[in-house]
Structure 1
């Protein structure tokens, strides 16, 4: 993990603001923008409406091997969840083996980084669709971005690949139309195109990102280098609703209909869903702790919210009337806004930790703003208040990052390395043995073992005279 031990986190904002005055950033395309696409994306899915949704996250905080992965687990869609888990685990294992072992040779000039994020394409009726976007910066192929869509048919209880949207008898006609359109594009290589689409064994891997537009059209996306020269970038082909419908399977037609006219509810056959409840504790008055007179410590929790871990953590904190700062990830905020609302209601501070945990220093100014602004909007929608603080993933921050936002950066003094050591006793012992007055402690509320360590931390440090305050309170009264 990147450490900045020479500068106290509370003083960091001043130092970086001076750096920012001398910086300028370049503007690049916003994440998710593709080339040669027509039509618009389908309606945005509100994941908070999916009963029992769990966002499965695994993040590293090691600068030499930075990774962040996430995928959704929806009750009833176990086969689809298993398929995503298999692919995510495989990519992560490959990344660790190729880029993170001693002596490994990464193709990336700035070092390796793996980021796998998710978005819902449709979640209504008996249809569930998810896209996973993988950015592997250890590869030498462009920006290392690849995408894949996963589909679930709740009517039959079956996981479907992207090609499952196309009827078996229509796949040759569908592929012929794809090839005809792609041959018109600059950079497409005929031999590469034929190898990718003619052989059924290769076809499923190449045609693995299909989704519907808001007007029922079918959008097909290809990764960089899949059908053309890598320098040409990604290719996207969009067919009209009338053209696409003729090729669709029975499931594909239902997926198309639910994408354009979604039902109010999702029902994919779950026999039961985990009960998600946010604690109802409310803060009593403002925190009047004077950190000039008493010993204070700011516990901070990254990467959440997570169910049920964050809910359990809030209960522990309430027992000691402790206030902490949560640095939340945007895609988790929109999945669990009730938990974020409960954090704020209980008197805790909610900060910004980007939308999907990339190294911000490797992004363009526009991409940095996209990551932070989208997350701030989600936090404000959940709590009614926009955040004022952000924690850069991996602690990676520079003048370009600080110049792109008005949020104040926050790092840490005590690193529990709880992502590396899933041991509640070890995490608690690390905090208790290392903490000093006015320290900022880094933990993660996505890990059950980290949450389990909190009661012991609160008990021992309270007995030693420590008061638990938010980062902003510590800055204001230190």
Structure 2
């Protein structure tokens, strides 16, 4: 994370206050898309899945807040779809390795100002069909740095399918011919490029790696920049109508199309019994009457959740000491685990906004920033009944454009545990205890099991030193 030096009390108080949609058969380059373009896109391949209905869903999160190598990644782990999860995991790790070798190593080849963001979007999760899109944005890379890929799971066959698996083997030549027909003549596309893109069987699978059904049963195919045209032209989208695509679909493709248009019930991929996750039922008794002018207060803050089961474990630890904290939540995780966010609020904790999928907000337009924050606030309000009043910008990246895009108050920190760097509970606890002082705002992450494991020791030692654990907004109000 970006470093923040210790500041006098008055300065601390100041910081605390602080695609183109294509019609059937049409195509056009979508150009440079923002980090949040896919989740918020008004294109025909809209997201309609409520991830909280996917039983046993686990969102696999990882991040690095190191200034020279910032990244945030997420992908879903769905019971019964292990092969698909393994494919996503392999791809995410591969992209991370490439990013680290190009942006995070000293010497030649290091690219200043890069950050990597990999987020996810559910396309369909119904019956025996699961579809997920991963959206990768590598700011500072060549071209737009944007790429997308879809992953499919066939519960009936118990098999992972690539995007091209939606199309029957015997129909693929006709399908590709239709795509070429729609792409030819577009700016930046020539016959040679198209031929090379689809020349071999392996090339076809790699190029046709983002395919999803529209709400009316058409098929939307997206090509990353440089795949079928010049990199400068950006990505291209082709949408084929339901009438055109249906005869070419595989048996799985037909089921995926049907489950997208008319979801047939809860997702069932044949996994063994998946127990309901434990959600704490702790309830705060009234408002916090702590006067931070008279006693030693400290504000513990937790970013990037909620996560299962880590957040639930954390809530139980906090309840034992009647400690209140502030959670800065990621919107896509709130959507997946609204029950945990409700549990946070019920226990008297503060819920803050940490964007939808953790991009560097200072790299986005005002409209994109507002989308990231507003969508997350809406998810928090849907879960708790109250919209957040505070937000923490990812990586602590804050400028006037970000401030002006929201009425929420930004919250930074002055004790950085760097717990993402140290997967060691004892080390994290030692850092917090060693740096604790009255009115400090401490940065931690509840997506890391070792950070959650460190909390009981932090609470035990600091309670013995007469500290009271309060939310950021309570600290502001009483100083």
Fold-level match, TM-score > 0.5? yes
CA contact (8 A) 1:149 1:162 kept: yes
The residue number in structure 2 matching 1:454 is: 455
Alignment of 1:66-145 (within 5 A): 66-107=70-111, 111-141=113-143, 143-145=144-146
Alignment of 1:19-34 (within 5 A): none
CA contact (8 A) 2:16 2:412 kept: no
The residue number in structure 2 matching 1:335 is: 336
Q: Deviations over 1:31-82 (max 9, x none)?
A: 6658xx9972355100000000000000111121110000000000000000
Indicate whether 1:48 and 2:49 are aligned: no
The residue number in structure 2 matching 1:22 is: none
CA contact (8 A) 1:219 1:238 kept: yes
Shift of 1:197: 1.2
Shift of 1:94: 1.0
Q: When the two structures are superposed, what TM-score results if normalisation uses the length of structure 1?
A: 0.94
CA contact (8 A) 2:35 2:137 kept: no
CA contact (8 A) 2:69 2:104 kept: yes
**Distance between the aligned counterparts of 1:430 and 1:6, measured in 2?**
15
Shift of 1:264: 2.1
**Distance between the aligned counterparts of 2:43 and 2:15, measured in 1?**
45
**Distance between the aligned counterparts of 1:260 and 1:184, measured in 2?**
32
**Distance between the aligned counterparts of 1:138 and 1:58, measured in 2?**
20
**Distance between the aligned counterparts of 2:408 and 2:126, measured in 1?**
36
Q: Structure 1 147/126 Cα, relative in aligned 2: closer, same or farther at 3 Å?
A: same
**Distance between the aligned counterparts of 2:52 and 2:349, measured in 1?**
21
Alignment of 1:12-23 (within 5 A): 12=15
Shift of 1:189: 2.7
Q: Structure 1 456/39 Cα, relative in aligned 2: closer, same or farther at 3 Å?
A: closer
Shift of 1:97: 1.1
Alignment of 1:178-189 (within 5 A): 178-189=179-190
CA contact (8 A) 1:114 1:138 kept: no
Q: Structure 1 337/9 Cα, relative in aligned 2: closer, same or farther at 3 Å?
A: farther
Shift of 1:137: 1.8
Superposed structure 1 runs of 4+ greater than 6 Å apart: none
Q: Structure 1 448/101 Cα, relative in aligned 2: closer, same or farther at 3 Å?
A: same
Alignment of 1:367-406 (within 5 A): 367-406=368-407
Alignment of 1:245-260 (within 5 A): 245-260=246-261
Indicate whether 1:10 and 2:45 are aligned: no
Q: Structure 1 433/13 Cα, relative in aligned 2: closer, same or farther at 3 Å?
A: closer
Q: Which runs of 5+ in 2 are unaligned?
A: 19-31
Q: Which runs of 5+ in 1 are unaligned?
A: 17-27
Q: When the two structures are superposed, what TM-score results if normalisation uses the length of structure 2?
A: 0.94
The residue number in structure 2 matching 1:231 is: 232
The residue number in structure 1 matching 2:311 is: 310
The residue number in structure 2 matching 1:59 is: 63
Q: Deviations over 1:277-322 (max 9, x none)?
A: 2100111000000000000000000000000000000000000000
The residue number in structure 2 matching 1:25 is: none
Shift of 1:244: 0.5
